[in-house]
Structure 1
């Protein structure tokens, strides 16, 4: 029998940024996060796990307690953190084993239980937002001839969009930027430690985000409906094209939306992708990494799936709008992620303008070109500099307009600190793994392609 104390949460606004991004704290940091309660209670999970998984969950819970109580000290600098990240082996291991290492080595903040208990349930991760403004012209059931039909009701699509209370709807020359999350991670938590903070502090941008149900683990074709609707909705309400920033799977959610909902193209001024996998991944252990559960979205992201082949086909491997794609050659989730075959690299057959930038190449001798993992790219200073440059100019971000000596010498985007780096590692490598188990997909079948793909 497990005993859990009630944790009281206090949410407040970060005065230093004057931002709408809530912060959070808990009274007793050592309390066991409720997500473990759910996973250990087989009556609430979809199926009991194997003994191995229960053992690994117990180990992970114990290590999280050690971080919360100070027995394990978090790394104190990003440089130290990146060095420790580079030491973790990645072959023939489950994602739970990886999560245990991430926590054991101090790659999560001492507030890890707050993150697990509080932020995952807070309003910034809500899929029930009350967005009453109606767009003109209407978007649903179709925005324009040529758009794929929506299978999801408009009320459901609209309520997944989180609009901060200070959002200006394009006034004061602020560019709305829609943030789209990756596989297994809620949008609010993912961007809390990176671009929600960065684009709230930056005077010319206004971030909003879309929370995709089941944390983007379901069919990517459905996830893309949420994205297509959100792009057109925020653009219509703001009466201007918007920026769209993505991480990981979010990049193919957007690329699929741009391909099959052509009305979104005029609504996007800049597409900014972090650690994208436009060509899928050759990582042979993708489903082993998430075993025993291989969700539809994980199934679909392998290099030779029906979904990825359909996305790449008929020019889908080239940009539809000005695109700035920034990625790391040390990405162990998406492979290959360097050279001319990098999954994140898009072509430009439409001449809209594309910048494909691997940080280790652009910052070959600088800190910003160090060992950045799939998730650590969210704090990379060169990525941020390129995105700011893209938003300030027509077309994509350009290296030649950036002071590379200065930017490459940094390890973090301006305004972020080591706790943001650690928070991202916690969300990506701990929350993401637990979400895979919590949502309980167990499938060996890639979802069939929708009818509109064949027409």
Structure 2
């Protein structure tokens, strides 16, 4: 049982609070090819509860029972009560993602309508792997843009089809900066960012697109990185500007690997912003895979271990240093990536190349204040410092810099003004999607994938 420190009370949430909203309540489901290797949440939990033995089966049954018992009906009615519950859950110690999901439902943090939305995530076009992107880039990017680029193992149609471009995307017109959203482990990109940075255009002159990586990024991270590398060169190649890349979780590693081995991408990226990244790996693999390492896990979770060959390879030859202007954002209370406290945070990148890096620990920036409170791995997606530094990075040359922010205002907030209570519910509820994807993943491994020949 892990114990996270807690250093504030409910009174510190302050009075600068956005009210509850209903931005998810009226969303309609749209059919598309499934982004999941399993099925919807209920189907996967039921299958695991009935078909698998031991601890995993019991955990799936517990969550399923909680959902079917409708114990999530009386959800938190305010930002204050939601954050009090989140603080209580994650500061008290959580053993694994299944227990975290069970607690979130029990505390009313995944209300019925949010659960209905999350349960239907495989049917949303925003998670599609078969998007029709017919524009051609202004120069050749496949099979390679540069002789210094690693080879792709995937065909171009597969890589291009994974890029989701909203109909409102302006391709760099009117001064809008394209921003590519890269997902983390076990949650499809469209669902991940629906409750957070897909709305960043409301805070800055940004134009979001995202990369839908198959099997919710649970497969080989080296292959996942191919999708990122291609998306960077494609979106910059069909737009009239370079791009910003914003990642969450494993997406930081996927992007760093792409920048390292597809060198042409470095010239196309204006800013790289990594939320809750694990550049040094994590000691918490068992949080995502109960019973790990004796219980087989998914390839990319193996690769994210602190001492994995993947982490060692990405960090070799100054891979622990930024390739482009980079802003990292992380929290002490990250339940999935640890350590996450200074000076040994997994999120930390150095600046050997002098491109510009800021490493931003929200508890250091906003000590004993709401924005420096108990923000989880997923909670950093709605942290107000995260949002403020994204806007700051885009608005200036180089990385985001907290010294330019109005910290008196930002640190007093619990969520940015562009988000609402439903966005908190939906973001924390991503853990339920992750449980389904991890339990439903078919090709479990007893060790990590071999390092690709181009990286040896």
Relative to the length of structure 1, the TM-score reads: 0.88
What residue in structure 2 maps to residue 3 of structure 1?
none
Inter-partner Cα distance in structure 1 for 2:65 and 2:400? 44
What residue in structure 2 maps to residue 86 of structure 1?
87
Q: How far is 1:36 from its partner? A: 2.3
- Distance change in 2, residues 1:343/1:52 (3 Å): closer
Question: Following superposition of structure 1 onto structure 2, how do residues 377-396 of structure 1 map, counting pairs within 5 Å?
Answer: 377-396=380-399
Query: Does 2:345 align with 1:339?
Result: no
Q: How far is 1:443 from its partner? A: 1.3
Which deviations, in whole Å up to 9, do the C-alpha atoms of 1:280-310 show, x marking residues without a partner?
Answer: 1123635643754410000000111100000
Q: How far is 1:108 from its partner? A: 1.5
Query: Does 2:270 align with 1:264?
Result: no
Inter-partner Cα distance in structure 1 for 2:204 and 2:350? 32
Query: Does 2:451 align with 1:449?
Result: yes
Question: Following superposition of structure 1 onto structure 2, how do residues 46-445 of structure 1 map, counting pairs within 5 Å?
Answer: 48-67=51-70, 72-88=73-89, 93-197=95-199, 199-283=200-284, 285-286=286-287, 288-289=289-290, 292-427=295-430, 429-445=431-447
What residue in structure 2 maps to residue 37 of structure 1?
43
Contact 2:382-2:415 within 8 A present in 1 as well:
yes
Contact 2:173-2:240 within 8 A present in 1 as well:
no
- SS of the equivalent of 2:256 reads helix
Inter-partner Cα distance in structure 1 for 2:317 and 2:194? 36
Task: Count matched residues.
Answer: 423
Inter-partner Cα distance in structure 1 for 2:320 and 2:72? 48
Q: How far is 1:209 from its partner? A: 0.1
Contact 1:148-1:260 within 8 A present in 2 as well:
yes
- Distance change in 2, residues 1:293/1:423 (3 Å): farther
Which deviations, in whole Å up to 9, do the C-alpha atoms of 1:356-407 show, x marking residues without a partner?
Answer: 0100000013210011011111000011001100000000011111000000
- SS of the equivalent of 1:325 reads strand
- Distance change in 2, residues 1:164/1:442 (3 Å): same
Contact 2:25-2:114 within 8 A present in 1 as well:
no
Which deviations, in whole Å up to 9, do the C-alpha atoms of 1:419-444 show, x marking residues without a partner?
Answer: 101101111x1010111111233211
Inter-partner Cα distance in structure 1 for 2:188 and 2:166? 16
Contact 2:97-2:288 within 8 A present in 1 as well:
no
What residue in structure 2 maps to residue 6 of structure 1?
none
What residue in structure 2 maps to residue 13 of structure 1?
none
Q: How far is 1:37 from its partner? A: 2.6
Q: How far is 1:25 from its partner? A: 4.8
- Distance change in 2, residues 1:232/1:284 (3 Å): closer
Relative to the length of structure 2, the TM-score reads: 0.88
Deviates more, 1:285-294 or 1:55-64: 285-294
Which deviations, in whole Å up to 9, do the C-alpha atoms of 1:203-256 show, x marking residues without a partner?
Answer: 510000000000000000000000000011001111321111010000000000
Inter-partner Cα distance in structure 2 for 1:247 and 1:204? 21
Instruction: Pick 1 or 2: higher relative contact order, CA cutoff 8 A, min separation 6.
Output: 2
Inter-partner Cα distance in structure 1 for 2:113 and 2:224? 30
Which deviations, in whole Å up to 9, do the C-alpha atoms of 1:36-68 show, x marking residues without a partner?
Answer: 2355348xx9x931154344323322322444x
- Distance change in 2, residues 1:385/1:91 (3 Å): closer
Inter-partner Cα distance in structure 2 for 1:452 and 1:322? 25
CA RMSD of aligned residues (A): 2.4
